[in-house]
Amino acid sequence: MVIEDGLLPPGLERLLDPYPLLNEFREAGRVRPATIAHGMRVWLVTGYAEAVAALTDPRLSASPVHAIDSGNPALASLRGREGRLVKEMTMSDPPDHTRLRRLVSGAFTPRRVAALRPDVEQIADGLIEEIAPAGEADLVAEFALPLSLQVICRLLGVPYADHERFRGWITRILQWPTDDRAVRETGAAHVAIMDYLRELLAEKSRRPSDDLLSDLLAVRDQGDRLSHTELVVMAKLLLMAGHETTAGLVANGMALLLRAPDQLRLLRRDPGLVRPAIEELLRLEGPTILGTFRYTTEEIELGEVTVPEGEIVCICLSAANRDPRRFERPDVLDITRRDNAHLGFSHGIHYCMGAALAREEAEIGFVRLLTRLPGMRLAVDPERLEWRRRIRTLAALPVTFTPGPVRPADESGESG
């Protein structure tokens, strides 16, 4: 198949406002051929109903092995390695996915998430105390990222003292490799973080503690358990996804609020709106742009389009979340929006298992920032904000506020 149109520019996720372009794509075809990063040819899904259908259709696999023979150059590196590909939960289908998710969810319980709330509050309070006297801060480096990193480290049982090591590996892994050297560096980062987690898990097998990785070492379900390789891959997935996207939610959300003074005042006056605000921020500026990839195992009808077998389908969650057929005034931030069944945490069997924890961290983070750092505003022109590649998260979020000792929020949530 030759795709003749639909070229999405590289670095789309780094644009200040990539959404008008995605809206144009949706208007031209809610399911259409497109070429994205590094010449990857896909069927781009930008409509909400079509995205939901794609995320729930069992004929769309999460495993790229189904598209290796499509002739797509983006998958050429997988040829000959099909049998050796490690199945992670996010790239597997039932029954493997069902087994992996069941085993992990047996340890990743609501009880553990709820029990973590005092820790999240303690971490957030400590970070606020550190930055409050200065009157200025980078909310990515000094709040959103250390908050999410410390929380996921406590949950998993990963030493936070090692965060600079594994953050470097994760940063490399999350970048699109642009040349042979970058490919080698990315491969080395994968090897390094896997070796680190193998050593950590070996130590926990000898001396288990009250954390998720120790639970995963011991978890069994009807005689089944995670293999050693599955366990290491799962630990990597949880460590990476467990802080990158949550930090993005907090930082992206604060950037949106600081650019919408009316919504910011509304939330400051009524912190009870924080939960619907989180859903709206996820809908409007979630940490993914192109979103989720699926692979057709047979010819399917998607919307009004026929997609052949063995093709890559890119489900653009950010475009679906701004579909005017589903959301009224889709490009407007409205923290009082109630009908908000967004796809920020995906949908179907691959719905984000850490969604409850991400919401809890965001709720605590937003309330602390808005009630204890009075007068907060952006310290740079919004057009100078730098967005990272591959995932839609800010590299930095410089802000200023009234310096002074931390002021506890009163019952109304006013910060003065």
Q: How far lies 118's CA from each of 173, 194, 237, in Å?
A: 32, 30, 25
For 197, phi and psi rounded to 5 degrees? -70, -35
Beta bridge partners of 35: 7, 41
Amino acid at 21: L
Which pLDDT belongs to residue 343? 96
* CA–CA distance, 230 with 129 (Å, rounded to integer): 40
**Domain boundaries 12-400, corresponding CATH code:** 1.10.630.10
HSE-up of 169 (CA within 13 Å, CB side)?
Answer: 19
Which pLDDT belongs to residue 80? 52
For 32, phi and psi rounded to 5 degrees? -150, 155
Please state the separation of Cα 273 from the chain's center in Å.
23
Which pLDDT belongs to residue 333? 97
Contact (Cβ atoms closer than 8 angstroms) between residue 190 and residue 173: yes
Which pLDDT belongs to residue 2? 37
Q: Which residues of the chain have pLDDT under 50?
A: 1-4, 83, 409-416
Q: How far lies 86's CA from each of 83, 122, 346, in Å?
A: 9, 37, 22
Which pLDDT belongs to residue 69? 67
Which pLDDT belongs to residue 244? 86
Contact (Cβ atoms closer than 8 angstroms) between residue 19 and residue 46: no
Which residue has 């709206």 as its token pair? Answer: 280
* CA–CA distance, 195 with 335 (Å, rounded to integer): 43
pTM score, whole prediction: 0.89
Q: Which among 15, 144, 51 is positioned nearest to 342, based on CA atoms?
A: 51
Contact (Cβ atoms closer than 8 angstroms) between residue 399 and residue 258: yes
SS3 track for the chain = CCCCCCECCCCHHHCCCCHHHHHHHHHHCCEEEEECHHHCEEEEECCHHHHHHHHHCCCEECCHHHHHHHCCHHHHHHCCCHHHCCCCHHHCCCCHHHHHHHHHHCCCCHHHHHHCHHHHHHHHHHHHHHHHHHCEEECHHHHHHHHHHHHHHHHHCCCHHHHHHHHHHHHHHCCCCCCHHHHHHHHHHHHHHHHHHHHHHHHHHHCCCCCHHHHHHHCCECCECCCHHHHHHHHHHHHHHHHHHHHHHHHHHHHHHHCCHHHHHHHHHCHHHHHHHHHHHHHHHCCCCCCEEEEECCCEEECCEEECCCCEEEECHHHHCCCCCCCCCCCCCCCCCCCCCCCCCCCHHHCCCCHHHHHHHHHHHHHHHHHHCCCCEECCCHHHCCECCCCCCECCCEEECCCCCCCCCCCCCCCC
Which pLDDT belongs to residue 288? 83
